[in-house]
Amino acid sequence: MKKQYLFSHLMGFIEGKVVDGTATPEEEYLYQDYKWYGKINKQSFTYRSLVNQYLNSEY
């Protein structure tokens, strides 16, 4: 069965990584693009990696 997630929760997870200083430069760039332009490239490796990290975390 596929795990499901809310996009808003994923963005909170990414924002937490950025604030904590644990985000990679690519993750920060992805987050900034979302905040500035309201878009996110869901096909990017960085996004998919973050989804995987989120689903495997206790967040």
The number of distinct structural domains making up the chain is 1
Residue 2 lies in a domain: no
13 falls within a domain: yes
Q: Domain for residue 14, yes or no? A: yes
Sole residue written with tokens 């430069």: 25
Q: Which domain holds residue 17?
A: 7-55
DSSP the chain: ------HHHHHHHHHHHHHHT-S-HHHHHHHHHHHHHS---TTSHHHHHHHHHHHTS--
pLDDT at 3 over 80: no
Tens of pLDDT along 12-53? Answer: 999 999 999 999 999 999 999 999 999 999 999 999 999 999
Handedness of CA 44, 36, 13, 55 (dihedral sign): negative
Q: What is the pTM of this model?
A: 0.83
Q: Do the domain assignments include residue 27?
A: yes
**pLDDT (0 to 100) of residue 1:** 64
Confidence of residue 4 (pLDDT cuts 50, 70, 90): confident
